[in-house]
């Protein structure tokens, strides 16, 4: 379609794996599609094929009706003509060039005045003022990441490709930079295809999530749908967290935040990120079940619901509930029998506020 990026291709390695990808995404931003999965699953190969750095043997790739690759028609457009911006894992900055020179490297076709104006714009956008004359070894990890982003954004790319954009950072810096990256991508006009194996990073950045394993895209959907409704056991094992739901802040009090989640109200520990929209992440083992009526105590999260599904998993069972939203609990097979858990049965789910992990949307 004229307003979409479409990809349906296969990359075959001699004596190695075959990487297959079939997906589409908007050709106009801001929209972030995240390829999520374990290391070695084929995510970076998909990204490199989209960039034109790898050549598939089968299939077709097009951008807003413009064919970038077609195996049958023997079409392969070079990376330069695709107009993409590619951020590598290690940022690939030139150590002998200053911040301004690194950003300007991608703008050699512009006249001097226009190039200087664009460098100035990128320095302002990425909050790099005062660092213009420093070289990469003189910068922190977070500063290097911002310089690398400035360089790929400077020439107005039609598609932005990010390969593990936060993996080179230490954990505290990654936590800090993640929110900045989310805000930056939301403010760009270019669509983004991003690779990560980090679940929090995927949830933070993605508008759409594609789960990749063993060279295949197993499921595509919103982050909430993929994490809460995995298509199969392989996807469930990759995403790890059984319940991820969209939540909006209704009130804040005494270090707690009241969240509207579907038709329910949840209380969680207030985060340092004072945003209004989150993903609420709840691990199944942090949910306890009991029969009867909700207690009248001041406990924050006693959720009345009913059993939707029972999924045996060896010595335990995953109990899927409707509590105004889909919630999964993990209980022993014996506990499930003692509670007489069966589809349609009313049940109370209890979740501690401290067990709910909030991820800014």
Q: Would you say the C-alpha torsion 109, 112, 115, 119 has a positive or negative sign?
A: positive
Q: Flag whether pLDDT at 90 surpasses 70.
A: yes
Q: Reduced to 3 states, what is the DSSP secondary structure of residue 48? A: helix
φ/ψ (deg, to 5) at 59: 100, -160
φ/ψ (deg, to 5) at 151: -65, -40
Q: Contact, 279 vs 247, CB < 8 A?
A: yes
How many residues does the structure list for the chain?
361
* pLDDT tens by residue, 120-159: 999 998 889 999 999 999 999 889 988 998 999 999 999 9
**Token pair for 352:** 């501690």
Q: What is the pTM of this model?
A: 0.78
Say how far apart CA 12 and CA 54 lie, in whole Å: 11
Q: Flag whether pLDDT at 84 surpasses 90.
A: yes
Going by DSSP bridges, is the β-strand pair 84-87/159-163 parallel, antiparallel, or unpaired? parallel
Q: Which residues pair with 21 in a beta bridge?
A: 9
Supply the mean pLDDT for the chain.
89
Q: Contact, 154 vs 128, CB < 8 A?
A: no
Q: Flag whether pLDDT at 295 surpasses 70.
A: no
Residue 298 is predicted with a pLDDT of 46
Q: State what percent of residues in the chain have pLDDT above 70.
A: 97
Neighbours of 204 (CB within 10 A): 21
Say how far apart CA 160 and CA 184 lie, in whole Å: 12
**Token pair for 343:** 């589809």
For the chain, give every domain's residue range: 4-241, 244-360
Q: Contact, 336 vs 353, CB < 8 A?
A: no
Say how far apart CA 140 and CA 153 lie, in whole Å: 20
What's the CATH superfamily of 4-241? P-loop containing nucleotide triphosphate hydrolases (3.40.50.300)
* pLDDT tens by residue, 10-56: 999 988 899 999 999 999 878 999 999 998 999 999 999 999 999 99
Q: Which residues have a Cβ under 8 Å from the Cβ of 25 and sit 6 or more positions away?
A: 4, 5, 31, 33, 191, 193, 208
Distances (CA, A) of 142 to 127, 135, 169, 273, 282: 11, 14, 7, 19, 29
Say how far apart CA 93 and CA 72 lie, in whole Å: 37
Q: Flag whether pLDDT at 1 surpasses 60.
A: no
CATH class of 244-360: mainly beta
Which residue has tokens 């790739």? 61
- Least reliable range by pLDDT among 15-29, 169-183, 259-273, 309-323: 169-183
More confident residue, 11 or 170: 11
* Residue 63, Ramachandran bin (φ over 0: left; ψ between -120 and 50: alpha; else beta): beta
**Token pair for 303:** 């959720």
DSSP result, 139-182: S-HHHHHHHHHHHHHTT--SEEEEESTTTTS-HHHHHHHHHHHH
Q: Average pLDDT of 271-298?
A: 78
Neighbours of 127 (CB within 10 A): 13
Q: Flag whether pLDDT at 301 surpasses 80.
A: yes
**Token pair for 17:** 């794996």
Residue 224 is predicted with a pLDDT of 85
Residue 102 is predicted with a pLDDT of 94
Residue 290 is predicted with a pLDDT of 87
């Amino acid at each position: 379609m004229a307003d979409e990026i479409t990809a349906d291709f296969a990359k075959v390695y001699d004596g190695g794996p075959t990487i297959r990808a079939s997906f589409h995404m908007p050709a106009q931003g801001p929209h972030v599609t995240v390829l999520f999965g374990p290391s070695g699953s084929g995510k970076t190969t998909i990204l490199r094929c989209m960039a034109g750095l790898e050549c598939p043997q089968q299939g077709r790739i097009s951008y807003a009706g413009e064919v970038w690759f077609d195996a049958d028609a023997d079409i392969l457009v070079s990376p330069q003509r695709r107009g993409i911006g590619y951020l590598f894992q290690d940022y690939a900055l030139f150590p002998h060039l200053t911040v301004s020179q690194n950003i300007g490297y991608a703008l050699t076709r512009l006249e001097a005045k226009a190039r200087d104006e664009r460098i100035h714009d990128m320095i302002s956008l990425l909050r790099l003022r005062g660092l213009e004359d420093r070289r990469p070894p003189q910068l922190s990890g977070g500063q290097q990441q911002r310089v690398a982003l400035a360089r790929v954004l400077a020439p107005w790319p039609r598609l932005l490709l990010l390969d593990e954009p936060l993996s080179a950072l230490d954990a505290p810096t990654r936590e800090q930079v993640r929110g900045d990256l989310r805000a930056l991508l939301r403010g760009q006009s270019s669509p983004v295809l991003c690779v990560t194996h980090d679940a929090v990073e995927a949830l933070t950045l993605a508008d759409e999530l594609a789960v990749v394993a063993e060279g295949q895209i197993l499921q595509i959907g919103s982050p909430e749908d993929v994490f809460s409704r995995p298509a199969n056991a392989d996807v469930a094992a990759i995403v790890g967290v059984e319940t991820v739901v969209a939540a909006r802040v209704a009130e804040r009090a005494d270090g707690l935040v009241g969240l509207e989640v579907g038709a329910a109200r949840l209380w969680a520990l207030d985060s340092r990120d004072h945003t209004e929209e989150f993903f609420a992440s709840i691990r199944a083992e942090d949910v306890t079940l009991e029969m009867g009526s909700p207690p009248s105590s001041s406990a924050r999260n006693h959720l009345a619901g009913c059993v939707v599904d029972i999924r045996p998993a060896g010595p335990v069972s995953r109990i899927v509930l409707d509590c105004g939203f889909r919630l999964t609990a993990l209980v022993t097979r014996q506990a499930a029998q003692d509670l007489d858990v069966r589809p349609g049965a009313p049940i109370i789910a209890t979740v501690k506020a401290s067990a709910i992990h909030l991820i800014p949307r």
